[in-house]
Structure 1
Amino acid sequence: MNYRKATEKDLTAIVKMMADDVLGKKKEKFQSPLPIEYVKAFQNINEDKNQELIVLENEKLEVIGTLQISYIQYISYLGGMRAQIENVFIRADQRGLGIGKKVFKWAINRAKEKNAHLVQLTSNKERPRSIKFYENLGFKATHEGMKLHF
């Protein structure tokens, strides 16, 4: 497996994986051509040195997974940096093969390379299997998160 920075050519595969998800079906719009909002978001992410949109390829160079790591600089912890892992998706036909665990090990090592002192993530409470997966990787629910949608 190969991890690399996503290119705009990968965007269709990324959005397809996001839309091919129980919760993603409710909020993503996979169509051809893709809505321009996805392209604009990709461009913003790609230009931001604190963002890494990553794809995972198999031996046939097919995109089979994706994740985004955001590096957040803050004053606390002596000016520490944390890595936020979001939007982890594995292609439907590749789920259940242990790829997700490999993706997280890679992402944690990548965060360490960037000198982050912790890795954090959020998970929808409607995903109890995902939450158990993260707990098995060593993540702990230490804070209560809140959101305000507009």
Structure 2
Amino acid sequence: MSEVVGELRDGQQVVRAEVSHLPAIVDLLTDDHLGSARERPADDPAYAAAFEAIAADPNQLLAVVLADETVVGTLQLTFIPGLSRGGALRAQIEGVRVAASQRGSGLGSAAFEWAIEYARERGAALVQLTTDKSRPQAKTFYERLGFVASHEGMKLPL
């Protein structure tokens, strides 16, 4: 039985992901123009290793949204302790995906509302995320939720 960490509308539950959810999570990650080019087959051992590392870390929550036991969404929350902002705890939201059949239904907004409240309950002082510049519709969505593009993010592939 999956650990329920939240409830959304229409009986949808947010649960801590289990290894059995991994193929569905990878399917969600590959179901956009970015993921289809960068993700691997779901049975790649790298996903199982990453899942185990995430599951073992108390500062990580890999969550899935279930509707009638079907994975319809996923996100990862990472809690980052830091010295800046007076020793504030940050919550980083990553890997957000909603099943194509659920897009436009309000599920994404409901999942974010849940994640923000969960972060608040854990003591986070702020919630942050990054979004790829090739996804302007995602940026608009995040702005509607109250996120502000306050910084310029940078990455260096290794």
Residue 14 of structure 1 pairs with residue 22 of structure 2: no
Contact kept? 1:66, 1:90, Cα under 8 Å: yes
Secondary structure of the equivalent of 2:119?
Answer: helix
* TM-superposition CA deviations, 1:63-106 (whole Å, max 9, x none): 10000000000011221100000000011111111110001000
Residue 139 of structure 1 pairs with residue 147 of structure 2: yes
Match of 2:96 in 1: 88
Alignment partners' CA distance in 2, 1:49 and 1:68: 12
* TM-superposition CA deviations, 1:82-141 (whole Å, max 9, x none): 000000001111111111000100000010010000000000000000000000110001
Runs of 4+ in 1 over 2 A off after TM superposition: none
Alignment partners' CA distance in 1, 2:84 and 2:133: 28
Superposition pairs of residues 1-150 of structure 1, within 5 angstroms: 1-31=12-42, 34-58=43-67, 60-150=68-158
**Worse-superposed segment, 38-47 or 94-103:** 94-103
Alignment partners' CA distance in 2, 1:72 and 1:113: 15
Aligned residue-pair number: 147
What TM-score do you get using the length of structure 1 for normalisation?
A: 0.96
Deviation at 1:30, TM superposition (A): 2.8
Amino acid at match of 2:121: E
RMSD across aligned C-alpha pairs, in angstroms? 0.8
Contact kept? 1:19, 1:30, Cα under 8 Å: no
What TM-score do you get using the length of structure 2 for normalisation?
A: 0.91
Alignment partners' CA distance in 2, 1:12 and 1:74: 33
**Unmatched runs of 5 consecutive residues or more in structure 1:** none
